[in-house]
Structure 1
Amino acid sequence: MRYEQRHGQKKKRFWKPFLTVLLLLFVSIAAYSYIQYRQGVNQSLEKIGNKEKVEYKFSGKKDQYGGTNILLLGSDARGDENSRADMIMIAHYNEDKGTYKLTSIMRDSYVEIPGHGKHKINRAFLEGGPELMRQTIKENFDIDLQYYAIVDFEGFVQLIDEAFPEGVEIDVEKRMEKYIGVTLEPGVQRLDGKHLLGYVRFRQDAVGDFGRVERQQKVVSKVAGELSSIEMLPKLPKLIGVVQPFVNTNVNTGDMISMAMDFVKGGRGTIETLRIPVKNGYTDARVSGDGLVLQLDLEKNKQALHEFIQK
């Protein structure tokens, strides 16, 4: 037998068991992830029951820079079409650049809502769900959104309690209790899900919604940083399962897990944030029917958003 033939046979004998082991490893990881995911889903369903979710039309696509933007809407109504969005964020994910960013749009921003005239932006969800909110953001800021996720705040509580049994360390800057269902004393402390939710929802002080948006971004960045540790990687499928019953989204579970895994594996402990309106990009105004609003300098805010996404 020629040397080349013997050498080729040895290579084949080596690769066959190696590929078999690799395949078994892949199947085992996939099975583990699915089992963990289902455990998380069942755990939440035991608490809330299997509630039917509203199905929304959403005509989204990638933005002009090749990024994936996810419209994040926070609500207490679990998909109730008669509610306004209590939290409006855009999660920016660019796979080629490996970047994750977050933009918060203040709910009192006074903008043109297609077919409804000028109102506070959170009214768009009330009038037409996530699709009208997508159209509103596109018309005012010229950014496309590919996906949406409406998050019941109870899902946030369950996520925190599952991921961080000892709580999340936060420096509470003042006493907080009005309209948040809990009482928080100032100082560095570890907050469970219920108290952390109270912290990000508080706005009964001099800075009002500006302070709340700042706290929301602070907590999202903090939680994302802790979730990005390699120790959290095995927990991700179950955590996504825990949250899934509380989220109405058009992102499929596979893509959700893939993006989460990519975030953790990339070691991206920090998320860049932006607030709309930007500093000196608005004036306070009072409008009949809407009350106090934030009158935006649209061009200034649009430019800031585009520069933030591109960099």
Structure 2
Amino acid sequence: MEEQEYTRRSERPKKRRLRKGRTFFIFLLLCVITVAVYSVVQYRNGFELASGTKVAQEDFTGDAIEGSIENYLLLGIDTRGEEQSRTDTMMLLSWNKDTNDIKLVSFMRDIYADIPGYQSYKLNTAYYLGGVQLLKDTLGNMFGLPIHHYALIDFQNFESLVDILAPNGVEIEVEKDMSEKIGVTLTQGVHRLNGQELLGYARFRQDAEGDFGRVARQQKVIEALKDEILAPQNILHLPKFVGAAQGYVTTDYSSAGEILQVLKMLSKGKITIEKATVPIEGSYNFQNFSHAGSAIVIDIEENKTFLREFLGISLD
């Protein structure tokens, strides 16, 4: 009798541990379900918010991917309700999938370029004449650059995406007072800028640096947005941001493929961005043309050599 009571008493702590373990498991499961439901709802909210605003997808034939480096043509346009637009922002994002390093090359929009099928004109006119494919072919012909994918966003959509990702603004050091022709007034100093202000900062060029200064600011904005995406305080905003990006950003990817690529990049840990601008210093001069106005005439071979070394890829 005493032996049986001892046995029963010795089993009680084990049962309590089992109950505690089961309770913790149920709590953990409920947390996972709550997070999943929240993410799906926020993703759908973002997607619905952006529905009907995307720039139309275009026919695009990317180059075959060889090796571990994948190149994306990033374009920003200001449609203003027009059927045809010029590209205000032209960047090549080069991602090394083995090292997770990212290299970002900005192309000056006033580069005097040989546009296939047309007379030579400023580089940003290629998109106006023939869309993403013609711009891709123009860069490919000039520098031998392989371009595998593209992403295109209208500036109004850019503003909305920034406000979804960072409702409290994106921290930027504004190096001088800015207001002319950007639709906002910015003062010198460190500020948290909303979408409209951040776009204005990135587009400002009414100073001695002109377009070269604007390109540097655009790269600075890309770096700041990367930090916001990875910031812990913005985790709750990411599902809605990703959903809205499906509607605001036009790419040659399917929605699932686009998300998968971003997840692959983020899952590999810390992301560093190394930046450059074409033309490089000392490789260009300004010339006036009757049909194109003032344009940047560049030494193509010198810039091609730079791109080959900077990106670490062979160029045809």
TM range (shorter): 0.7 to 0.9
- Say whether residues 1:44 and 2:50 are aligned partners: yes
Choose the corresponding residue for 1:310, options 309, 312, 315.
312
Contact 1:151 1:246 in 2 (8 A): yes
Counterpart mapping for 1:203-218 below 5 A: 203-218=205-220
Amino acid at match of 2:59: K
Deviation at 1:65, TM superposition (A): 4.8
- Say whether residues 1:281 and 2:280 are aligned partners: no
Structure 1 partner of 2:221: 219
Structure number with bigger Rg? 2
Contact 1:78 1:152 in 2 (8 A): no
Choose the corresponding residue for 1:151, options 150, 153, 162.
153
Count residues with an aligned counterpart. Answer: 284
Measured in 1, the distance between the counterparts of 2:237 and 2:53 equals: 25
Measured in 2, the distance between the counterparts of 1:267 and 1:80 equals: 41
Choose the corresponding residue for 2:98, options 96, 99, 115.
96
Measured in 1, the distance between the counterparts of 2:53 and 2:241 equals: 19
Measured in 1, the distance between the counterparts of 2:110 and 2:243 equals: 33
In the superposition, relative to structure 1, how do residues 70 and 205 fare at CA in structure 2: closer, same or farther (>3 Å)? Answer: same
Gaps of 5+ in 2: 1-25
1:162-195 Cα deviation digits (max 9, x unpaired): 1212111111111111111111111111111111
**Which stretch shows the higher mean deviation, 137-146 or 259-268?**
259-268
Measured in 1, the distance between the counterparts of 2:201 and 2:218 equals: 9
Choose the corresponding residue for 1:244, options 243, 246, 249.
246
Deviation at 1:268, TM superposition (A): 2.6
1:184-226 Cα deviation digits (max 9, x unpaired): 1111111111111110011111111011000000111121123
Measured in 1, the distance between the counterparts of 2:193 and 2:233 equals: 21
Structure 2 partner of 1:8: none
Secondary structure class of the residue paired with 1:114: coil
Counterpart mapping for 1:63-142 below 5 A: 64-77=66-79, 81-142=83-144
Structure 2 partner of 1:181: 183
Choose the corresponding residue for 1:169, options 161, 168, 171.
171
Secondary structure class of the residue paired with 1:175: coil
1:88-125 Cα deviation digits (max 9, x unpaired): 11111222232222111010011111111211111100
Structure 2 partner of 1:54: 56
Contact 2:166 2:228 in 1 (8 A): no
In the superposition, relative to structure 1, how do residues 233 and 98 fare at CA in structure 2: closer, same or farther (>3 Å)? Answer: farther
In the superposition, relative to structure 1, how do residues 283 and 277 fare at CA in structure 2: closer, same or farther (>3 Å)? Answer: same
Contact 2:94 2:102 in 1 (8 A): yes
1:218-254 Cα deviation digits (max 9, x unpaired): 1111211231235545643321222332222212222
State the TM-score, normalizing by the size of structure 2: 0.82
Contact 1:81 1:129 in 2 (8 A): no
Measured in 1, the distance between the counterparts of 2:182 and 2:308 equals: 34
Deviation at 1:36, TM superposition (A): 3.3
Gaps of 5+ in 1: 1-20
Measured in 2, the distance between the counterparts of 1:80 and 1:118 equals: 23
In the superposition, relative to structure 1, how do residues 306 and 236 fare at CA in structure 2: closer, same or farther (>3 Å)? Answer: farther
Measured in 2, the distance between the counterparts of 1:138 and 1:81 equals: 25
RMSD: 2.5
Deviation at 1:151, TM superposition (A): 0.4
